Amino acid sequence: DVTGRHRAAQELDRRARTDDLTKLLNRKEVLERITKLSVQTARTGTKLAVLFCDFDRFKEINDIYGHAAGDEVLRVMAERIRGCLRTTDDLGARIGGDEMLVVLHGVHNLDNAVNVAEKLRVSAMEPIPITGGAVNTTLSIGVTLAVPGETTDALIARADAAMYKAKKTRRNRVVTMSAGKAGVG
């Protein structure tokens, strides 16, 4: 059956590109797409922002409530990330454990990206229902804009550095980092 084989091939393709738990893009896929978007934005003059999101004290959720609760937190946060995306050109990805990326294509400036990050940070604080109760969590988010000609690795590293600055300074906050300087939101 040709239709059955076609559906099976589509399902394999989807699984190769997405994270099974969250249904967000996986690390490999989002890095490839960032590379393509960086080339596109360089040609069109638009801006590309990356938000590196990390749950604060996620290990405690797994330790106290169990891994099933941790998985539910990840699934719910994936939905909240999808709810914060502005257009179909924006991307959400789980890049490992409790680390997620949001890629905003066509932002006007860093402030636009910070506004989305703050919306996401606030939505993360809403209780997440689990069996037998609810879990509260927060996000530390690093935000940066792509610089023409830089590598995807350099862009992600800068967003990651901003996120770690957010964690070190007090968690549950947004920190920006431009090429050469950092700011706190």
> Catalytic amino acids?
98
10 Å CB burial of residue 64 (0-12, 13-18, 19+) is: exposed
Residue 144: name the closest of 29, 12, 34 by CA. Answer: 34
| Token pair of 61 as six digits | 């959720």
Residues 140, 100: contact at Cβ < 8 Å?
no
Count how many Cα atoms sit within 13 Å of the Cα of residue 84 in the half-sphere of its side chain.
28
Q: Could you tell me if 70 and 135 are in contact, meaning their C-beta atoms sit under 8 angstroms apart?
A: no
Do 101 and 51 form a contact (C-beta atoms < 8 A)? yes
